[in-house]
């Protein structure tokens, strides 16, 4: 695994950890405030709250908690880091395409800028690549 792949995986894992912390704060808020839906079930996350007034209040209070404890800023920073490492990973992947495939490379360079599915497929292929055999 090369440096771009490692940095991408670390950034992705970091964001997932922070988002898990955010979900845990939501879950604890729901439990502590004994929030249930009309059918008696307890929602797992605030977006699953049926009552609009309760949802609005929970959303506002949880947003304040996450902002005040610094988690929201960490999530935003982690998203920006992931975005940058993803760009670097894709740039690396496209840079190792052999010159005999210049047309395909050109198409992919345009597509990864606007097409999410193409970006994900390129990332997937980069991770399937044995980078130890590639000279950059």
What does the pLDDT look like over 121-135, one tens digit per residue? Answer: 999 999 998 766 666
Q: Which of 15, 18, 6 is nearest to 82 (CA)?
A: 15
Between CA 75 and CA 21 the distance in angstroms is 10
> pLDDT tier at 1 (50, 70, 90 boundaries)?
confident
User: Integer distance in angstroms from the first to the last C-alpha of the chain?
Assistant: 14
Q: What is the pLDDT of residue 132?
A: 67
pLDDT digits (tens, 9 = 90+) for 28-86: 999 999 999 999 999 999 999 999 999 999 999 999 999 999 999 999 999 999 999 99
Question: CA-based Rg of the chain, rounded to a whole angstrom?
Answer: 21
Q: What is the pLDDT of residue 129?
A: 82
């Amino acid at each position: 695994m090369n440096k771009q792949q490692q940095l991408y995986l670390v950034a992705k894992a970091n964001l997932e950890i922070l988002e898990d912390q955010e979900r845990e704060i939501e879950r604890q808020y729901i439990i502590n405030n004994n929030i249930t839906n009309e059918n008696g079930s307890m929602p797992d996350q605030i977006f699953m709250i049926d009552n609009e007034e309760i949802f609005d209040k929970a959303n506002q209070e949880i947003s304040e908690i996450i902002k005040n404890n610094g988690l929201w800023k960490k999530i935003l920073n982690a998203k920006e880091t992931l975005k940058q490492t993803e760009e670097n990973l894709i740039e690396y992947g496209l840079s190792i395409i052999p010159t005999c495939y210049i047309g395909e490379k050109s198409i992919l360079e345009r597509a990864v800028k606007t097409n999410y599915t193409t970006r994900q497929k390129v990332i997937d292929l980069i991770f399937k690549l044995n980078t130890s055999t590639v000279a950059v």
